[in-house]
Structure 1
């Protein structure tokens, strides 16, 4: 099977359940608290591994108790930690997450060692890249590192998939290296300036991103599924109907599953259905990596 190389962030999530998300200046009492492994890169790596992908994960942690805890956790998940670096001079990344009764969340991230992931770290894994492999990245590491990794992968014939989260503007040069981009509604609006109210707006956004030079676009729309643009063709993939509990890591699960499907030779529609199913399972559970399903939990014939 083709390799899926995930380069990205790893955090410890500190999560509080609340009746509602606090307004500025508001203090809310009560709610369950727990700590969980998180970070968009690590979430996607765990999703790839649990769903049967041939994973390589590149990340940087602090050489502190949280970083060491994360390395131990990755080993228990069966993830090779060869390309995970512990930095002596920086703290591990931490995310503070509030989740309300409607499964909506609010997240603040202290990036720590994630922002030290650099070109030298990418160079260590370039020799692993082969034509047809997949590189999956997000934006919780320096944008210069993302662009450098995308260019090196593109030069080797690797399919570069970018999940442009958290939302930000992107260098034009980066876009030309991409095989696919997978923004959610907010991220797509930031990339194009087009507000998404309905399916027609989502298609306009996808066409606009396509005109920027990206051949394949998936705009994820939460409970409404996703809009896929493949070359000059657009189509929708419905979400699986579930009762959500926590949407944390749903997008990361979607992206990891999507890449596993593509690495196994599925077409883009089939891979998007598999990704939709995996994310629908994730939202029925609390936490980030704790919510990500294993392959045996996906019944794509439902």
Structure 2
């Protein structure tokens, strides 16, 4: 995804509370009752399906009862209150610091549907901390689609602070304008200061938990080392990960497994023990989060004394009793290839 150039956005800011550079929008003492925003016209129905918007966030300070919007999609040029009272539509992520919040503030995933406001469970965050947000929509989930907010503590977006979802209410919505910041324009003069930066937009999503199985190493008569990788953590933290194995294809955690506990993006290993010498085994890497448990492809190996075990690796070809055998990339299953005479 390419980073949005914010200097190409249009800024409405009568009291000069917002400063925009190529990749950052900084707000200084932006009051709740300001009428200010920074937006870009992407064209009619640009956001007409799935999308992902990522951006970084840092809030320096805020007064009690301060409110505004960090990022939003809409079909009109207006502030938050104007969209709501004029019965327009909006989907976005907004900021609020109620009196009960103390030193913290809230990130709120919000939909305005024909002027009716709906919100997901709030995420509580802390001032003077860098956060990395992913705001996205998946139209395959729910009757009219679902929007999500995932907050990470690292720029690589591997460690999840919290995540929420909100099913959309009455109809599918397409949007034209993206806002890098939008004031509330209601209520008090309570203000906040901070910045958002590095806005990136994609119209495809890859949010499912994904894991891959890699080749086995250090194979002995009774032990082996399983290798794998968590390629995408999905929308919630990985609570379990490891390898499952069995003597039949497609092993699951209910067969035999090593559970390495909570995991994060990247490679991992598992110490597999209790094998029988000379036995053929199927192994799959797995990971679990709130979406469920997912598995990588099968890797097949045979245990052997003194490290003499063998394995079949996806993509490999071999000759067995005058037949050419191939191991599939997707499922790790071994197949023989029937020959066709070449004229």
TM tier, smaller = under 0.3
Larger radius of gyration: 2
Instruction: Give the structure with the larger strand fraction.
Output: 2
TM-score (norm 2): 0.25
